């Protein structure tokens, strides 16, 4: 095998390895999900006018803001969040790709299994109870 052929094959293998690492890594898209039965399900409806892509965060009063993922214009995103402290206030924040942000009213996650928020308003819908 000539040096030129070996070099081209090596580059191809390295390129495939880099592609596989990017495809499986957490650099973009949805964030890692909590295991089944854990955490709180957070549903975000992107009903903004004019439409815009949104990056969704949860902002606990105690702790650091955490990125949940991205919601396309006129889309709905479903995310899983495992809070460190459920008794403190949390807010969902939607940052617009075009600039600016919207925020939900504060809410406490004690006993909560699901939170639904439409970005055009501050009110969240809370579901409390046990998981099936």
Higher-confidence residue: 104 or 33?
Answer: 104
Per the CB < 8 A criterion, the answer to whether 65 and 93 are in contact is: yes
Architecture of domain 40-128: Sandwich (2.60)
First to last CA, the chain: 61
* Residue extents of the structural domains in the chain: 40-128
The set of residues, in sequence order, having a beta carbon less than 8 Å from that of 120 and lying 6+ positions away, is 47, 48, 49, 102
Distance from C-alpha of 64 to C-alpha of 92, rounded to nearest angstrom: 13
Shortest CA distance to 45 belongs to which of 110, 99, 113, 92? 92
pLDDT digit string, tens, across residues 8-61? 454 444 443 333 333 333 333 333 333 344 689 999 999 999 999 999 999 999
pTM reported for the whole predicted model: 0.70
């Amino acid at each position: 095998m000539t040096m030129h052929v070996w070099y081209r094959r090596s580059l191809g293998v390295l390129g495939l390895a880099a592609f596989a690492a990017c495809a499986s890594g957490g650099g973009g898209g949805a964030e890692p999900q909590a295991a089944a039965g854990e955490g709180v399900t957070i549903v975000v409806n992107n009903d903004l006018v004019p439409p815009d892509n949104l990056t969704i965060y949860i902002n606990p009063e105690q702790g650091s803001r955490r990125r949940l993922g991205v919601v396309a214009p006129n889309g709905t995103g479903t995310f899983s969040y495992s809070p460190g402290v459920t008794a403190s206030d949390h807010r969902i924040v939607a940052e617009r790709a075009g600039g600016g942000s919207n925020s939900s009213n504060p809410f406490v996650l004690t006993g909560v299994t699901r939170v639904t928020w439409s970005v055009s308003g501050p009110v969240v819908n809370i579901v409390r109870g046990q998981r099936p």
